[in-house]
Amino acid sequence: MDANKRQRYEKIAIELTKLVGGKENIQGVAHCATRLRIVLRDNDRADLKAIEDVDLAKGVFVAGDQVQIIFGAGLVNDVYEVFAEHNNMKNMSLSDLKTVANKKMNPLQRIIKALSDVFVDIMPGILAAALLTGLSGVLGNMEIVKGNDTLYGINKLINISSGAIFGFLPLAVAYSACKRFGGRPILGIVMGCIMLSDSLANAYSAAQGTVEVTTLHIFGLGVDLVGFQGGIIVALLMGFVTAKLDLFFEKKVPEVIRLLLSPLLTTLVGALLLFTVIGPVGRGLSSGITNALVWMTQNLGIVGYGIFAGLQQLVVITGLHHIFGAIEAQLLADTGRNFLNPLMSVAIIAQGGAVLGYLVRHRNHTKTRELCIPSFVSVLFGITEPALFGINLRYRFPIIGGCIGGALGGIVVYMTNLAAVGFGTTVLPGIALADPAGNGYRNYVIAHIVAITGGFIMTMILGKFMDKTLVETTEHSEQEKGLMEKKVPEKESFFGYAQGELIAIEEVKDETFANKVLGDGVAVIPSKGKVYAPSDGTVISVFDTKHAVCFRSQYGTEILIHIGVDTVNLQGKYFTAHVKDGDVIKKGQLMIEFDQEQIKKAGYDTVIPMIFTDLPEEKQIEKTKPGKIGTDQTLVTVYKK
């Protein structure tokens, strides 16, 4: 992570910590593909409205007793790293977080949530397989590919690659499930290997009657030696059972023989349960789910399709939508066609239509454009969290419009008999997965046009009745403004926070500070290793690494004092904090001491920027001329324009 990004994420970490109720209110933190997940002692202390406006945040909601903040794929990893470091929770895993959060969830929520987590871990592999399958299907229909040896060979390799990934998907599921439920992941892989062993009859061949199946008799039970190709539900169950067996034997087996005996017992007992209990139960459950969905489409027909597509995105709000992956995989294994994929895809694009509808109604507002446009782009690639939590759910009527649009798209899916040959990707990339039979590609496009148009039009119509205010504002009421104007002076002074030489912020040898990414300010080249309070106020946050402090003056002006460049890498070495979060302090009070010489010897610049991170638009700063300064000298004056 480069210095520019880190400085920005540090500011986000400080602000989020404050808005969720402080460090003492945080029980755990982790992240998934798009969301920063925080478990709080008291959710009521979190200011969800203010969190929505945090830099880079695309939305916030509470699900499963977690405060979940949408940052998006990739970005969330970096934000998590800095936020977790700031709150001393860097080593907490998603499993650890679930353990904390699960204590606040009912049993059904725990089960469904855990299952969704299993598919988050292996989703990159599923996406790769799905896209390769779609690509192979598209290329395979091209005459130029069929007639060219090289292109044909490349496409054949693509087909083999996608087939291999899907073929070993039960192994991946067993691995991820075992890991999620606290077992050693390698034992999940071992169990997955047993499920797909060449010593067993292939499940597909056995179903077609083209291979002879050997039957064993164990405890009077007939056990058919058939593999579990496509057995996603069985793999989920076995991952869970393997993890629990591993934990049990690790606790019960004496330490002197644990390394040899514990994995042996886990594998042996797990294999027996696989063939005698888990396998038959899992196969029955899988067939039941598939048959129920097929029954819905056969008996409820167009109504069933419309209801599913209309309501599917409401499941995304709970964060439990990944569980559909197991059902889709089972559908493909049992029927060869996946009708859920296009239904979910039209549900997604309909929410994009709702975003466009809201954007048109609020087209004159910059903040709305900044939020809606990137959210819509995410929808095009099958990611709806920014749209759902940033706009549609937040303003209520767009989510309704999107659901209606999704239902309309679902009706088209039914009428055109549209299905997919894979799963894991939707909307624009998802067209590659459409079953080309019966003009599948054309029907895929039509269904999505209907859905996005329906979502757009319904949002526009509903907005006329439900959009109570066209301009969302966080400004104070006129009465509050009057009170503030009486309390806040016309000018506010910030005095020397360190002894040394004052320089312009543009001279700091760091692009983040020099380019004023975090805000305008000044910097001091210190002559002594001490940092003082520049005015009366309150300490918002002292970084755990003690190299920076966020401070709010008595009149509400917020600043960040950052000691050195990249000194976060010292992990608190050579720094001593004399204040803590929430301390009310006086001008000139010592806040941080640092060993200037040792920091320099470690290769770090000790310049100390003071940044005004959240200065209102109606205010500006006036800086003292560069030169030698002391703690009794005014460095910056804040006043109204």
Give alpha helix (H) positions in 568-620.
Answer: 596-601
- Strands 530-532 and 548-553, by their bridges, are unpaired
What φ, ψ does residue 438 adopt, rounded to 5°? 65, 40
Catalytic residues, by residue number, are 32
Give alpha helix (H) positions in 381-470.
Answer: 385-387, 393-395, 397-415, 427-430, 440-466
User: Contact at 8 Å (CB) between 229 and 333?
Assistant: yes
User: Contact at 8 Å (CB) between 569 and 552?
Assistant: no
CA distance 99 to 76: 21
Task: Select from 31, 152, 164, 46 the least CA-distant residue to 89.
Answer: 31
Dihedral angle computed from the Cα positions of residues 388, 394, 398 and 402, in that order, rounded to the nearest 10 degrees: 30
Nearest 5°: CA angle at 310, between 305 and 315? Answer: 110
Per DSSP, the residues of 484-526 read HHHHS-SEEEEE-SSSEEEEEGGGSSSHHHHTTSS--EEEEEE
Q: Categorise residue 329: left if φ over 0, alpha if ψ from -120 to 50, beta otherwise.
A: alpha
b/e map 86-110, b = 16+ CB within 10 Å: bbebeebebebbbebbbebbeeebb
Question: Which amino acid belongs to residue 553?
Answer: S
CA distance 343 to 304: 11
Task: Select from 261, 281, 285, 271 the least CA-distant residue to 197.
Answer: 271
b/e map 589-600, b = 16+ CB within 10 Å: eebbbbebeebe
Contacts of 542 (CB under 8 A, 6+ apart): 548, 549, 550, 577, 579, 580, 581, 591, 592
Task: Indicate the DSSP class of residue 625.
Answer: P
Tokens of 103: 């204590």
Q: Which residue has the tokens 């320089």?
A: 503
CA distance 558 to 538: 10
Q: From start to end of 184-283, where are the E strands?
A: 215-218, 221-224
Tokens of 18: 């404050």
Question: Which amino acid belongs to residue 558?
Answer: E
Tokens of 566: 């990249």
Measured from the Cβ of residue 492, the count of other Cβ atoms closer than 10 Å reads: 18
Nearest 5°: CA angle at 612, between 608 and 614? Answer: 145
List the 26-31 sheet strands across, edge first.
26-31, 35-40, 66-70, 59-63
User: Contact at 8 Å (CB) between 459 and 351?
Assistant: no
